[in-house]
Amino acid sequence: MVAASKMRKAQDAAIAGRPFTHLMYRIQRDATTHATDFKHPLLEVRPVRKRAIILVSADKGLCGSLNSNVFRLASQYDPETTLFVAVGKRAAQFVARTGRQLLAEFEYSDTPTYPQACAIAAFARDVFIKKEADQVSVVASRFINTMTQQAMSIEFLPVGEILTVGAEGKAFEKALAADKAESLFEPGPEDVLGYLLSHYINIYVYQILLNAKASEQSARMVAMKNATENAETLIDDLKLEYNKLRQGNITRDLLDIAGGQSG
């Protein structure tokens, strides 16, 4: 019950972050019509010689194949040119065990907080702006439903075109296409978008953490349910085997008694 409650809270919080993405999507779309030469350090696209990976995992096991699926995806990157930012104890252990390059290690609680996300986003932003890495990606688990969690790898920096996601996002795009109203920027599109970009990446990381925690709680709940059912099946099988052996011993004792009396 506790795991289910935590999972629902994390899922609800993840959904609550979508309106900001919609706002950023509209501002970016309208700004491109006013400032075609807009430049920002977080938008700079460079040839990828070094890559940083924000690897998000659970702090504990007992959650099925959740961590192993994420680590299998992370292991596909070249260890010579990839730097890792571990988020979660299991992620740090994976990086150390496989001899990969660890830039930093962060922890996040059972209920991820916005300041925790801001710290991770700020570190990744500094790594990208200082050109320690030419691209920053996120490898984490995405919550789909209670039974399904998917390991994903998505580009984080540089910030590309901001898109809405899912059925709700498609409806939002249609609404934008039908809206002919012109946006007025004050102080200007460059200042507005530049100010919001840092907030956008903070909220983006926060959504990643919420999805990862919801996936962890859901996967652990399903794994424990399966373990309980397997244990009950094993107990039933052992009881049946015990009763068979007990009945066989009783039958053998009765045959010995009957044989002794006849002799």
Q: How far apart are CA 9 and CA 97, in angstroms?
A: 33
Residue 50 CA to residue 80 CA, distance in Å, equals 9
- What pLDDT, in 10s, does the model give residues 120-137? 999 999 999 999 999 999
Which residues neighbour 38 within 8 Å (Cβ) at sequence distance 6 or greater?
Answer: 31, 32, 189, 190, 193
Q: How far is CA 244 from CA 61, 231, 237, 238, 240, in A?
A: 38, 20, 11, 10, 6
Evaluate if residue 107 carries a pLDDT over 70.
yes
Percentage of the chain lying above the pLDDT 90 cut: 38
**91 lies in some domain:** yes
Is 253 inside any structural domain?
Answer: no
Compute CA distances 121 → 69, 157, 162, 251, whole Å: 23, 10, 17, 72
Position 86 scores a pLDDT of 95
Task: Provide the greatest CA pair distance for the chain.
Answer: 112
Rounded to an integer, what distance in angstroms lies between the CA atom of residue 251 and that of residue 258?
11
Q: Is residue 122 part of a domain?
A: yes
User: Residue 119 to residues 75, 105, 253: CA-CA distances in angstroms?
Assistant: 25, 11, 74
Residue 19 confidence (pLDDT): 52
Pair of tokens at residue 70: 């994420």
Judge whether 251 lies within some domain. no
Query: What integer pLDDT is reported at residue 5 of this predicted model?
Result: 53
When pLDDT is cut at 50, 70 and 90, the band that residue 55 belongs to is very high
Instruction: Flag whether pLDDT at 17 surpasses 60.
Output: no
DSSP state at residue 42: G
Q: Is residue 143 part of a domain?
A: yes
Mean pLDDT (whole number) for 203-220: 91
The pLDDT-based confidence of 11 (bands split at 50, 70, 90) is very low
Nearest alpha carbon to residue 112 among 14, 249, 199, 15: 14
The reply to whether 7 falls in a domain is yes
Residue 165, pLDDT score = 44
| CATH number of domain containing 101 | 3.40.1380.10
Residue 262 lies in a domain: no
**Residue 223 burial (CB count, 10 A):** 16
- Computed over every residue of the chain, the mean pLDDT equals 80
**pLDDT score, position 179:** 62
252, part of any domain? no
Q: What's the N-to-C CA distance of the chain in angstroms?
A: 65
The answer to whether the beta carbons of residues 154 and 137 sit under 8 Å apart is yes
Residue 260 CB contacts under 8 Å (≥ 6 apart), including other chains: none
Neighbours of 134 (CB within 10 A): 18
Q: Which domain holds residue 11?
A: 2-223
pLDDT of 31 higher than 60: no
Q: Which of 23, 20, 41 is nearest to 31 (CA)?
A: 23
- Residue-level pLDDT at 202: 92
> 164-185 pLDDT, tens per residue?
444 445 665 666 566 666 666 6
Count of domains in the chain? 1
Q: Supply the pLDDT for residue 16.
A: 41
Give the residue with greater pLDDT, 81 vs 1: 81
